[in-house]
Amino acid sequence: MKLPVDLWYPVLESQEVRRRPIGVERLGQQLVFWRDHAGRVHAHPDRCPHLGASLSGGKIEGDCLVCPFHGFEFNQEGHCVHIPAHGRSGKIPGGMALETFPLTEVHGFIWLWLGPIRECYPEVPFFPVLESRWRYGSIKAEWPVHYTRAIENQLDVAHLPFVHRSTIGAGGRTFIDGPYVETDEHSIRVWVSNLHDPDRPSQSQQALRKASSGKDPGLHFIFPGVWLLNISPRIKNLVAFVPINERRTLYYVRTYHRIHPRWLGKPFEWLMGLSNRFILEQDRQVVVTQRPMNSGEADHDRLIGADRAISQFRRIHQDLLARGVDSGDAGVVTE
Ligand code: FES
Ligand SMILES: [Fe+2]
């Protein structure tokens, strides 16, 4: 799968990896994740180097991942340390090892470093506004779409009165003032007003920049796949987009909040989960029809002014791809 490299990808929520191996498809590869005694998570291709069985069907013993087929044991570094058929003092053939992926666990997600191994890694870029004292509830959804269309859908500010007519787009405010968009190497920030048609063109970027100064962006996206919707000072929606393969994308959707009194937090999370699911379903019905599936191949799309955030997404995504792509081989990266 063609993906930009040298980036941290969110791949699982922390709570999904416990003391048993879990096999999932992520970033175009079948992977196995497991947690050792100390609580550290490890990831490898979900294929035993002996005869190719899925390691996710195995178990964790001590600090080793054990293959279900012939009981080979692999340590946290992926080295085979025991072949039962050869006995405890038996020789381990060279090359009997698993590739390992650099991982980190922060903000309640497991992040996988896609790209060449390094001495040290950058921090996971996240939203400064979420740094402290937030609670959240989350839901998960899987769509048969390419991640590019999934992300662009959440940067699309013109679809609300059409796709979400009965929910967040009610009121027929079809006119887009802006959007005003700021970008850097890895992120996109969007300020926008949806209005009833005022019968004048959108304000200039300069005027919009002035109007947005000092205000938090309405939307904030950080490559390769986290997005924040600023609903109010006490409520934010976050989506982590996880490419499964060329044709499927996973969404982790969280509502972060500071609801008082505290006991209202859980019912609020439950309600927001329902509402997010309903609104996303409205999006899904349209996004699954978009062709081509990968917006990187959508040379015939004719973008308009209101699509400024989408065109910036495409530009930065192309720049990142031009720097290097994942070849699809576990842990191996080519230009
Ligand atoms: S296939 Fe894994 S130990 Fe044989
Ligand atoms: Fe939408």
pLDDT at residue number 333:
40
User: Ligand 1 centre and the CA of 46: distance in Å?
Assistant: 12
Q: Looking at ligand 1, which residue's alpha carbon is closest to its atom 3?
A: 70
Taking the centre of ligand 2 as the mean of its atom positions, its distance from the CA of residue 266, in whole angstroms, is 25
Q: What is the 3-state secondary structure (H, E, C) of the chain?
A: CCCECCEEEEEEEHHHCECECEEEEECCEEEEEEECCCCCEEEEECCCCCCCCCHHHCEEECCEEECCCCCCEECCCCEEEECHHHCCCCCCCCCCECCCCCEEEECCEEEEEECCCCCCCCCCCCCHHHCCCCEEEEEEEEECCCHHHHHHHHHCCCCHHHHCCCCCCCCCCCEEEEEEEEEECCEEEEEEEEECCCCCCCCCHHHHHHHHCCCCCCEEEECCCEEEEEEECCEEEEEEEEEEECCEEEEEEEEEECCCCHHHHHHHHHHHHHHHHHHHHHHHHHHCCCCCCCHHHCCCCCCCHHHHHHHHHHHHHHHHHHHCEECCCCCCEEC
Ligand 1: lining residues by beta carbon, under 6 Å:
48, 50-51, 53, 67, 69-70, 72
Whether the per-residue pLDDT at 11 is higher than 90: the answer is yes
Residues of the chain with CATH 2.102.10.10: 7-114
Q: Which ligand does the CA of 68 lie closest to? A: 1
How high does pLDDT run on average in the chain? 95
CATH topology of domain 7-114: Rieske Iron-sulfur Protein (2.102.10)
Range(s) of the chain covered by CATH 3.90.380.10: 128-323
Average pLDDT over residues 256-275: 97
> Confidence class of residue 207 from pLDDT cuts 50, 70 and 90?
very high
Cis preceding-peptide flag for 267 (omega within 30 of 0) = no
Q: How many Å lie between the centroid of ligand 2 and the Cα of residue 131?
A: 26
Query: What are the backbone dihedrals phi and psi of residue 76, each rounded to the nearest 5 degrees, phi first?
Result: -60, -25
pLDDT attached to residue 335: 34
Share of the chain above pLDDT 90, in %: 95
Per-residue confidence (pLDDT) for residue 160, from 0 to 100: 98
Name the residue with the closest Cα to ligand 1, atom 1.
Answer: 51
Integer Cα distance of 94 and 6 in angstroms? 29
Question: Residue 39 pLDDT more than 50?
Answer: yes
Residue 330 has pLDDT above 50, yes or no: no
Q: Is the pLDDT of residue 109 over 90?
A: yes
From the CA of 286, the nearest ligand is 2
How high is the pLDDT of residue 328? 60
Predicted structure pTM score:
0.95
Percent of the chain with pLDDT over 70: 97
Check pLDDT > 70 for residue 14: yes
Task: Give the ligand at the shortest distance from the Cα of 157.
Answer: 2
> pLDDT band at residue 327, thresholds of 50, 70 and 90?
low
Mean pLDDT, to the nearest integer, of 194-204? 96
Report CA(158)–ligand 2 centroid distance (Å). 9
Does 85 have pLDDT greater than 60?
Answer: yes
| Ligand 1 atom closest to residue 70's alpha carbon, by position in its atom list | 3
Our mutation pick for probing the ligand 1 site, out of 46, 51, 61, 96, counting the most ligand atoms within 8 A of Cβ, is 51
- Which CATH architecture group holds 128-323? Alpha-Beta Complex (3.90)
The arithmetic mean of pLDDT across residues 245-264, rounded, is 97
User: For ligand 1, what atom is nearest to the CA of residue 53?
Assistant: 1
Q: Tell me: the pLDDT tens digits for 119-143? A: 999 999 999 999 888 999 999 999 9
The pLDDT value given to residue 329: 53
